[in-house]
Structures are given as structure tokens and as C-alpha cells.
């Protein structure tokens, strides 16, 4: 069979006779053709050779199919069923599977409904905080279990991405992409890279470059039985897939942001920080988000260049929008520190979540004492700690770690929100000192609510059992016996509508 022409194989996969009389739905990309029929999906790799892959021979497609199944089974074992050969039968015809000489190969998958893809779930407004947390849990788990690749990634890979973005955008200038922003993006990306190159290599050497997904956007995540499942990870290029875990995650955050869901992107980023404590990654996020948006700008421009007029106009607008975003990410808000204190049940974490996407891109880094304490004790966020977890020395270490994390974010040029009780005047002085030492603006907010309302909130939270806080009504009673001293921070009553309290906080912060 001619490897450059798969017409006969495509005809076979397109025929209802191959699928028991059911007509398949065909979806094409530049490197594959997918056939959806019944409960199955069959993915054929096109016999193409591109700068970043070579599927031009039968053997290369077989190897790529087997690699795709092996790599994707790490995250989606129930979705990837195996590799099926297309064979030449004794009669000379072609068949999907069975005895005979293999003339091509397809990846066979369990089919899922289009509406199960997370881009579709987001489009209909069905995404909420619990789903974002489950999604982030899965991404963090995937990254933790991914093979470490100290031989890849680091500064060299990011330098390649910057150069590749500039090179692949060039043919579309000025017809589809304006020259000035493209040039500015290349120049500013290089400036960011030069500041961060040593950090990129440090992270590689520390084991944070791993065999990642590589194409982690909402369209490559689906809900199976309510669980977010990552699929269609890149198997054909280690340059694109063996990368810093934060660069992998940045694609998902950028995709949410581009779809108008910055609050969800902020939630995802901060839940990942709660789980990992990787506040170092905040320094890299502007560049990583920009690079991901730049890749999407190039892809949209390439699609526009070969599209019909109506689609061309839409894709050109999309390309320019991504280009604008790529530049904007490289100009993040200036660093500042916001501390949110108050007794348990006053709404500190809720306020932090609402403020974060207004202060940073895709959100300020929220450093929560509850999450820090759980990490120090080596337990999951929702696991309950005993009294030993609240011993004086543990609390001291918790606050010291919180101060250090905030300082790390500020020195890197990010925005930090410190979320803790801060009932001790020495704790409030310490967090203010972090801002002074970093020479950034500081704002302290003290949240207050009636005791019975705080107790009701704590009871609801304890019943849900999903929050990092272990605070109970008994804890609240002990806190009420504290002498917090004179509180100079801005007091905000959170007993009414959350929008009203948020409005007061925004006015104080000027956002």
C-alpha cells in the first residue's frame, strides 16, 4: 500500500459496512482522522511528515499508535482500548482487525458524548468549584506520577518554543497577524526568558520536568462517570510533552482564561498551589501563559490561511485575540500583598477566592494557612488533624512557611494573598513586614461576622468535609477568647450578601 495515500483505508473506515451498518462521523485534523461510531472511536494517523513528527511510513504509524495508547493509559486506562490493525484479507480486500497483513493501524477508544468534553461543559455553564477542584486533583496526580525527565525541558525547551512561535507566525505577517505585535511578542518573550533561564534549569534538575500531557486544554478533557479524564496526550514529540509541569498546567489555565473563565482558572491555579506548595511556579506563569497563547495564535492563523471566507474571518479574529493575550500576559499587575484575617467562619477563604482573579493573572497566589498546615503535617487537604497538628510549634512553623511563601511570590513579581486568622498582633506585624521587605504595597482586611452566623458556616463546612480548614465551633469559641489587640486593618462585615462585602474589599484595594 502507498503510505502517502491512505485513500483505501479511509474508505474502509468511512463505510457503514465496516461498522455493522452504522454510518460513522468523521473528524479530521492535520495529522489524524477520527471515526466515531456506536460506542467506539477509531483514530487513524495520516501518512504525513511535518517538522515535529513523521507518520510517513507504516512502521512509524504503528509505533506512534502504540505509544499513544501507552502514554494515554496513564490518565485514561478505560478510554484507550488498544491498537487495531487494518489488514489485507485473503480475498484481497481490507478489514478492520482480524487475520492478514497489516497495511495500517488505528487507535481504538471508548467513545464518549461530545457534551462530556470540558469545553462543552464550560460553554453551557455547568462548571463549578467542586468540578474545578476534582480536575485540578487529577492534573496534580497525573504530574506527580509522570516519569521524571531530567534529560529534557529546562531553558533549552522554552528557548525553542519562543523561537518556534516567532518562526511559525512569520508567514502570516502582515496578512493575518500585524507585524508590530508579533515582533514585540518575540522581543518581550526573549527578555522574560533571559531573566528566568536559570530557574527553568533549576526546576528541571529538581525533577519538575516530566513526561507531561503536552496538549492540556479543555477540549482534551472529558467527564466519565463524573470524573475528569485527560486524553489525547502528545506521543509524537518529547520536545512538546517532556516539559515543566507548570508549563503543562499553564495551557489549561490559559484556555479557561481565553474562554472568559478567569475565576475558574484562578481557582485551579490556587488549588494546585494548596496541594503542591509550588509557589516558585508563580514566577514562570506570565511567560508560560504567553507562550501557550502564542501557540494558539499561530494555530488559528494557520487555519485561517486555508479556510473559506467566513471561517477565515472568524479564525483571523481568534488569532489576533490570542496574540493580544500573549502580549498582555507579559505585563502582569505589579506585585502587592493582601492579608485577609478574621476568626474562623468569617469568610476569609471565600473572600480570597473572589479577590484573586481581580488582582493577578489568572489570579493572585493565595497562601492559606490551613493548606500550609496540612502540607507540613503530610496529610491531604480534606484530612482532619488531631490536636498535635495545632501544637504551638506547628502553628509557628505554619505561619513562618506562609510568610516565606508570600515573600517568594512577591520577589518573583507576583501578587500574594495571605489567608490566615492573624489573631495575634505579632502575626499581623510579621505579614506586614514581608511586604515592607519586598518593598510592595500592603493591604490588611479584617473580616467580621456575628458568632451565631460563623458557627452555622462552620457546621455546614464540617458536614461537607471537603475544606482544608479543621475549624469547629469549639475552635471558634477559643478564638473569641483571644485578645487580638488593636486592629488597624480595614474591617469588613461579611454577615450580609457576599457581593456587598466583596464590593467593600474592592473599594479598599482599588480594583
Name which of 257, 251, 326, 247 is nearest 284 in CA terms.
Answer: 247
What is the rounded average pLDDT for all residues in the chain?
93
What would the pLDDT profile of 242-267 be if each residue is shown by its tens digit? 999 999 999 999 999 999 999 999 99
What would the pLDDT profile of 167-205 be if each residue is shown by its tens digit? 999 999 999 999 999 999 999 999 999 999 999 999 999
Three-state SS for 359-425 is HCCCCCEEEEHHHHHHHHHCCCCCCCCCHHHHCHHHHHHHHHHHHHHHHHHHHCCCEEEEECCCCCH
**What is d(CA 440, CA 413) in angstroms, rounded to the nearest whole number?**
10
Question: What is the pLDDT, as a whole number, of residue 434?
Answer: 98
Question: What is the pLDDT, as a whole number, of residue 1?
Answer: 46
User: What residue segments make up the domains of the chain, in order of their start?
Assistant: 7-111, 118-329, 336-509
Question: What is the pLDDT, as a whole number, of residue 26?
Answer: 96
Q: Can you tell me the mean pLDDT for 21-35?
A: 93
Is the pLDDT score of 483 beyond 90?
Answer: no
Question: What is the pLDDT, as a whole number, of residue 472?
Answer: 63
Quick one: 98 exposed, middle or buried, by C-beta within 10 A (0-12, 13-18, 19+)?
A: exposed
Q: How many helices (H) and strands (E) are present in the chain, helices listed first?
A: 18, 17
346 vs 80, residue with greater confidence: 80
Three-state SS for 477-493 is HHHHCCCCCCCCCEEEE
Q: Is the peptide bond before 174 cis (omega within 30 degrees of 0)?
A: yes
Architecture per CATH, domain 7-111, reads as 2-Layer Sandwich (3.30)
Name the pLDDT band for 451 (thresholds 50, 70, 90). Answer: confident
DSSP letters for 144-208? HHSPB-TTS-HHHHHHHHHHHHHHHHGGGTTTTS-HHHHHHHHHHHHHHHHHHHHHHHHHHHTT-
**Grid cell listed for 159:** 528557548
What would the pLDDT profile of 324-360 be if each residue is shown by its tens digit? 999 999 999 999 999 999 988 889 999 999 999 999 9
Phi/psi at 132 (5° precision):
-60, -40
Any idea which fold 336-509 has?
A: Rossmann fold (3.40.50)
Q: Can you tell me the mean pLDDT for 39-60?
A: 92
Question: What is the pLDDT, as a whole number, of residue 475?
Answer: 66
458 vs 399, residue with greater confidence: 399
Name the pLDDT band for 213 (thresholds 50, 70, 90). Answer: very high
Is the pLDDT score of 3 beyond 50?
Answer: no
CB atoms within 10 A of CB 185: 26
Q: Can you tell me the mean pLDDT for 30-53?
A: 92
382 vs 293, residue with greater confidence: 293
| Maximum C-alpha span of the chain | 91
**Grid cell listed for 381:** 487537604
Name the pLDDT band for 51 (thresholds 50, 70, 90). Answer: confident
What would the pLDDT profile of 127-141 be if each residue is shown by its tens digit? 999 999 999 999 999
Is the pLDDT score of 479 beyond 70?
Answer: no
**What is d(CA 362, CA 254) in angstroms, rounded to the nearest whole number?**
8
The model carries a pTM of 0.93
Is the pLDDT score of 469 beyond 80?
Answer: no
CATH no., domain 118-329: 3.90.1200.10
Picking from 32-46, 391-405, 478-492, which range would have the lowest pLDDT averaged per residue?
Answer: 478-492
Which residues, 6+ apart, have CB-to-CB distance to 371 below 8 Å?
273, 274, 275, 381, 468
Give the angle 94-96-99 at the CA atoms, nearest 5°.
75
CB atoms within 10 A of CB 73: 15
Three-state SS for 66-106 is HHHHHHHCCCCCCCEEEEEEEEECCCCCEEECCCCEEEEEE
Question: What is the pLDDT, as a whole number, of residue 476?
Answer: 64
Q: Coil, helix or strand for 108? A: strand
Beta bridge partners of 210: 148, 243
**What is d(CA 340, CA 489) in angstroms, rounded to the nearest whole number?**
9
Q: Let me know if the fold of 7-111 is the same as that of 336-509.
A: no
What would the pLDDT profile of 88-144 be if each residue is shown by its tens digit? 999 999 999 999 999 999 999 999 999 999 999 999 999 999 999 999 999 999 999
CA dihedral 131, 137, 142, 144 (to 10 degrees): 170
**What is d(CA 349, CA 364) in angstroms, rounded to the nearest whole number?**
13
Which residues, 6+ apart, have CB-to-CB distance to 281 below 8 Å?
246, 273
Question: What is the pLDDT, as a whole number, of residue 261?
Answer: 98
Amino acid at each position: 500500500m502507498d503510505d502517502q495515500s491512505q485513500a483505501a483505508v479511509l474508505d474502509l473506515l468511512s463505510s457503514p459496512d465496516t461498522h455493522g451498518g452504522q454510518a460513522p462521523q468523521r473528524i479530521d485534523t492535520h495529522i489524524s482522522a477520527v471515526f466515531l461510531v456506536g460506542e467506539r472511536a477509531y483514530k487513524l494517523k495520516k501518512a504525513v511528515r511535518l517538522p515535529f513528527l513523521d507518520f510517513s511510513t507504516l512502521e512509524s504509524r504503528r509505533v506512534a499508535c502504540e505509544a499513544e495508547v501507552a502514554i494515554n493509559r496513564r490518565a485514561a486506562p478505560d478510554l484507550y482500548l488498544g491498537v487495531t490493525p487494518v489488514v489485507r484479507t485473503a480475498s484481497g480486500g481490507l478489514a478492520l482487525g482480524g487475520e492478514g497483513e497489516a497495511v495500517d493501524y488505528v487507535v481504538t477508544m471508548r467513545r464518549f458524548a461530545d457534551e462530556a468534553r470540558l469545553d462543552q461543559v464550560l460553554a453551557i455553564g455547568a462548571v463549578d468549584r467542586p468540578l474545578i477542584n476534582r480536575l485540578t486533583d487529577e492534573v496534580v496526580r497525573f504530574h506527580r506520577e509522570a516519569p521524571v525527565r531530567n534529560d529534557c525541558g529546562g531553558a533549552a525547551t522554552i528557548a525553542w518554543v519562543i523561537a518556534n512561535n516567532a518562526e511559525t507566525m512569520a508567514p502570516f505577517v502582515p496578512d493575518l497577524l500585524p507585524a508590530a505585535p508579533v515582533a514585540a511578542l518575540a522581543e518581550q518573550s526573549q527578555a522574560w526568558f533571559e531573566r528566568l533561564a536559570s530557574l527553568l534549569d533549576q526546576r528541571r534538575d529538581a525533577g519538575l520536568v516530566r513526561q507531561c500531557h503536552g496538549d492540556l486544554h479543555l477540549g482534551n478533557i472529558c467527564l466519565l462517570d463524573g470524573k475528569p479524564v485527560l486524553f489525547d496526550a502528545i506521543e509524537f514529540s518529547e520536545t512538546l510533552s517532556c516539559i515543566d509541569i507548570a508549563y503543562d498546567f499553564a495551557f489549561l489555565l490559559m484556555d479557561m482564561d481565553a474562554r472568559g473563565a478567569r475565576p475558574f482558572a484562578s481557582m485551579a491555579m490556587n488549588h494546585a498551589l494548596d496541594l503542591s506548595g509550588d509557589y516558585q511556579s508563580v514566577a514562570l506563569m506570565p511567560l508560560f501563559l504567553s507562550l501557550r497563547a502564542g501557540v494558539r495564535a499561530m494555530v488559528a492563523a494557520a487555519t485561517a490561511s486555508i479556510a473559506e471566507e467566513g471561517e477565515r474571518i472568524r479564525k483571523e479574529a481568534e488569532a489576533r485575540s490570542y496574540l493580544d493575550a500573549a502580549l498582555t500576559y507579559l505585563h502582569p499587575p505589579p506585585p502587592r500583598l493582601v492579608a485577609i484575617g478574621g476568626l474562623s467562619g468569617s469568610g476569609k477563604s471565600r473572600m480570597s477566592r473572589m479577590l484573586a482573579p481581580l488582582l493577578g493573572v489568572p489570579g493572585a497566589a493565595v497562601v492559606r494557612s490551613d493548606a500550609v498546615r496540612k502540607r507540613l503535617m503530610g496529610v491531604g487537604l480534606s484530612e482532619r488533624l488531631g490536636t498535635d497538628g495545632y501544637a504551638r510549634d506547628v502553628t509557628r512553623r505554619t505561619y513562618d512557611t506562609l510568610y516565606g511563601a508570600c515573600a517568594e511570590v512577591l520577589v518573583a513579581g507576583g501578587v500574594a494573598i495571605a489567608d490566615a486568622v492573624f489573631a495575634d498582633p505579632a502575626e499581623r506585624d510579621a505579614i506586614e513586614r514581608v511586604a515592607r521587605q519586598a518593598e510592595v504595597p500592603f493591604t490588611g482586611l479584617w473580616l467580621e461576622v456575628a458568632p451565631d452566623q460563623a458557627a452555622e458556616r462552620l457546621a455546614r463546612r464540617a458536614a461537607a468535609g471537603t475544606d482544608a480548614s479543621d475549624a469547629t465551633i469549639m475552635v471558634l469559641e477559643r478564638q473569641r477568647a483571644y485578645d487580638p489587640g488593636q486592629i488597624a486593618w480595614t474591617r469588613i462585615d461579611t454577615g450580609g450578601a457576599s457581593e456587598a462585602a466583596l464590593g467593600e474589599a474592592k473599594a479598599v484595594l482599588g480594583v
